[in-house]
């Protein structure tokens, strides 16, 4: 009489578990890398969006509530390397009004070559005062945002 037991041996179960561990580890590493890349990409996109917002508001001469009774000079984006943040300001009759402040994610650093970098988009003349590049780096990668002398943001 033949003994026919059905089931898996300890070796077969160990092989299956080993394969699952290898696949899970590879998938987790890929997810962490993707998450880091997205964090840097999102920070660069947000800064580019703020620069475009300042440019757009200066072209349309939109006044914020803080300076409805004053003439608007333009909008300014100031990037602070030391505090790893940037702010959007409205400039009205020579007075600066802070509209928003954004801090970059913890592992994203600003490298502009100076402690702060400012882009001013004037209302009347258009273009930009303070053209240049901002380099965001983190997780072994970098993104460069460039504002040229006529205000084109790349």
Q: What is the pLDDT of residues 126-146, one digit of tens each?
A: 789 988 889 999 888 899 999
Cβ burial 107-138 (10 Å sphere, 16+ → b, else e): ebbbebeeeebbbbbbbeeebbeeebebebeb
pTM higher than the cut 0.85: no
State how far the Cα of 135 lies from the Cα of 110, in Å rounded to an integer.
Answer: 6
**pLDDT surpasses 70 at 113:** no
For the chain, what is the radius of gyration of the CA atoms?
A: 26
Q: What is the mean pLDDT of the chain?
A: 88
For 38, residues 6+ apart whose C-beta sits below 8 A from its C-beta are none
Which of the 8 DSSP states describes residue 112? -
Pick the CATH number of 10-147 from 3.30.230, 1.10.10, 3.55.40, 3.40.50: 3.55.40
CB 108 within 8 A of CB 136: yes
CB 137 within 8 A of CB 38: no
Q: What is the pLDDT of residues 90-104, one digit of tens each?
A: 999 999 999 999 999
Q: What is the pLDDT of residues 18-30, one digit of tens each?
A: 999 999 988 888 8
pLDDT at 4: 65
**Domain segments of the chain as ranges:** 10-147
């Amino acid at each position: 009489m033949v003994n026919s037991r059905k089931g898996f041996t300890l070796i077969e179960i160990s092989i299956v578990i080993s394969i699952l561990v290898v696949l899970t580890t590879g998938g987790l590493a890929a997810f962490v890398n993707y998450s880091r890349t997205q964090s840097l990409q999102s920070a660069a996109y947000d800064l580019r969006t703020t620069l475009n917002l300042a440019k757009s508001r200066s072209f349309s001469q939109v006044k914020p509530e803080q300076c409805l009774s004053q003439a608007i000079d333009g909008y300014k984006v100031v990037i602070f390397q030391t505090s790893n943040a940037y702010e959007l300001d409205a400039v009205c009759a020579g007075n600066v009004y802070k509209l928003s402040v954004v801090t970059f994610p913890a592992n994203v650093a600003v490298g502009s070559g100076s402690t702060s970098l400012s882009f001013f988009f004037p209302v009347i003349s258009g273009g930009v005062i303070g053209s240049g590049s901002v380099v965001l780096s983190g997780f072994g990668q970098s993104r460069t945002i460039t504002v040229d002398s006529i205000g084109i943001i790349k």
